[in-house]
Amino acid sequence: MRSKLKLIVMLVVVVLIALIAWLVDYLFWFGADAPQIDYNTKIRELQADPSGTSLDDYRAHEALVELAAIVETLGEDEHYETGNIDYDRRLDQQDPAVLAEIEEWISVCEQRGVFDKIDEFAALPGYVMDWDPSVLFIDLDYLEGSSALRSGLRVCGYRGRLALYAGDSAQAIDDCKRQVGMAKLLLSQPIAINRLVGHASLAFSISYCRELLSYGVSADELVELMEVYDSVELHPIEQVIDGERLLAQNAITGAFTGNKTIKIMSRGAQWARVEHQFDRMQDWLQLSAFERARSPYLEPIKDWRFAPADILLPALVAVVRSDDQIKLDLAAVQLEIAIERYRLDTDGLPASLGELMPTYIDEIPRDVFAEGTPELVYRVLDEPDEKGRDYHLYSVGHDGEDNGGQEPEKSAAQALDPKFPGTDFMLHDLD
């Protein structure tokens, strides 16, 4: 009897010890402290690396801040971008009152130096800013500058559209170049918000370029447009993961005073959590877009012990999806320019994309969403569709299946969303 009691006591002791050990491991941190890192320098190195810009070359950032100041004074003087309301509808109507309103806005921007500042910004080789380590993850100068940048993109679009209406394709192409120049600086950035603004800026210019093509431009102008988009480099999205990792870790080291024992208060524990989650994201990015669609990234389960770190993990899946989309858009506009050059030379459409090589394009872009990355789907139509297209050019989209060019009801980009299977991502979109 005593031996049984002794055995039971021993089992209880073992269970208690195991429970205490688990509880200690669950609640307490005995690992290393966060390493000492010069985050300001590390971020600037990531910013400067794609272009080889000096770490203290802040000219692009200063030009962006100055552009923001100009746009702010326009508002203070009650000069507002009224033409931005229902942009396409208002311009397409070509109502004299609407055109006069937009012309006045363009004139004010020209007089205040908006276009000069855009040219200065777009001509610079790279973008570096001096980060304030105390607020490394929030920079109001950049946020205000990005808003001004979007205004600059739109006013270039306004002026280019009016130039098209007047038959001045040279001016329209110059404004397209400005848009691409602005986008290129931000497409090299290692911070999610910067990169997303770069994606949006390039997408805006591509939409504008399609309008140029629909109006008709000369063979020389098509070559010029191809050179503009050939100059765009889409830097690896892994750079953004590295940049966001640094921002999150800097926030941790700034918010915590030491490597406390309790995990939720421990600088080392929170830093390690950030490191682990960004490593997971980098591993996932090694998959192709086709593989990622079938093995989606699982956001970390929220854990109260790591609440400070988890708050700092951005929605990077959205950035990756945006990156996949802009790669397809860029490839598509290059193909569309090549097709228009072929059309001018032969008075017809190529029967296949292969006929464009090597005279009009060096290689045919691949569809990263299709198994085996075949060429993008291209089909010549017997007669124009309801949007006036005489050919279809598309990616199979997120589901990896060729659905015959079936478009989502609302937005072409929905085809890259897992919630919209059975649709294709139409690239030659004239809307």
pLDDT in tens, the chain (431 residues): 677 777 877 888 888 988 988 888 888 888 899 999 998 899 999 999 988 889 999 999 899 889 989 988 887 776 666 555 555 566 666 777 778 888 888 899 999 999 999 999 999 988 888 776 555 444 555 566 778 888 888 889 889 988 988 889 999 999 999 999 999 988 988 989 889 989 999 999 999 999 899 888 999 999 999 999 999 999 999 999 999 999 899 889 888 888 888 888 999 999 999 999 999 999 999 999 999 999 988 888 888 899 988 888 878 888 999 999 999 999 999 999 999 999 999 999 999 999 999 999 999 999 999 998 899 999 999 999 988 899 999 999 999 999 999 999 888 889 998 889 999 999 987 55
pLDDT recorded at residue 132: 66
Q: How far is CA 202 from the centre of its chain?
A: 9
Return the residue matching tokens 């015959």: 404
CA distances from 280 to 248, 266, 296, 299, 315 (A): 15, 22, 12, 10, 14
Could you tell me if 142 and 118 are in contact, meaning their C-beta atoms sit under 8 angstroms apart? no
Residues 6+ apart with CB under 8 A from 269: 29, 31, 263, 305, 306
| pLDDT score for 84 | 52
What are φ and ψ of residue 28, in 5° steps?
Answer: -115, 155
Cα separation of 329 and 74, whole Å? Answer: 33
